[in-house]
Structure 1
Amino acid sequence: MKRRRLMSEINVVPYVDVMLVLLVIFMVAAPLLTQGVEVKLPSSAASPVSTDRKPLVVTVDAGGKVYLQDETVSLDRLLQAVSTARQDQPDLQVLVRGDRDANYGRVIEIMARLQAAGIQDVGLLTESPEPASS
């Protein structure tokens, strides 16, 4: 009687299949994870500002809601978070992204409150205008 030898090799084909399926799932899901606050920025012919330090971004949407780094915050919480960040980084730059349709007074109110909280480097984010086609 012949005895069968045990197979001591691992069949990796099912593992490769599973890895390919996971790769496809992550490729599809990754762009969905980077969603931010949707705002229509006004355009400006000003040249881009380059900075070595990473600024805090405050966003005001068309409805007047305020976001800090894409997270909804109240105005008091915003000032508290910015003051805390300023203690860690004294030369902190804050950029305000105001939606084109946002109330101008609301954007200015936020900028004034930030400056009153001691942030001297407050700027506005805009889009570059589309080049005119001839």
Structure 2
Amino acid sequence: MSRTRKRRMMNQINVVPYIDVTLVLLVIFMVTAPMTNPGIVELPGAGQALNQPKLPPVVVTVKKNGSIELDSQAMQRDELLVAVRATLSKSPERSVVIAADKNVKYEDVIGVMDLLKTNKVDKVGLLLKPV
């Protein structure tokens, strides 16, 4: 008597070839990774002198008590904006820098910067003491 058996379909995936390929790729990456040159980035130091523009910047000073000065003249926020715009209309290539005491609240300095930026004064920065 001959018994005939039907072959059953295999319902599992054979993952051994996938593991083999993955391990070969892993070895290739491990061998070639030290050979690649990541590139060298030369960052400027904090004390380096930058190329200074020909015209001096407009200096806005924020005092400890929150008052604002432009060229040593105390003024309110709306007066500051008018004065800065008048100065920049004469020489638009000038930038505006904000100088503040180290004890001034951060929100006061950012408030002045935001006032200038929202009113389309593009070149606004912070004045720092060189190290």
TM-score normalised by L of structure 1: 0.59
In structure 2, the CA distance between the partners of 1:46 and 1:108, relative to structure 1 (3 Å rule), is farther
> Which protein has greater RCO, CA pairs closer than 8 Å, 6+ apart?
1
**For residues 39-79 of structure 1, what are the alpha-carbon distances to aligned partners after superposition, in whole Å with 9 as ceiling and x for unaligned?**
xxxxx935344121121100001111100011101110000
- Number of residue pairs matched by the alignment: 86
| Alignment RMSD | 1.7
Separation in 2 of the partners of 1:45 and 1:78? 30
Distance 1:106 1:91, change over 3 A: same
% identical aligned pairs: 29
Q: Describe the SS at the equivalent of 2:85.
A: helix
Distance 1:73 1:47 in 2: 34
Q: Is the 8 A contact 1:92 1:119 kept in 2?
A: no
Q: Which runs of 5+ in 1 are unaligned?
A: 1-43, 130-134
The match for 1:126 is 128
Normalised by the length of structure 2, the TM-score is 0.60
Runs of 4+ in 1 over 4 A off after TM superposition: none
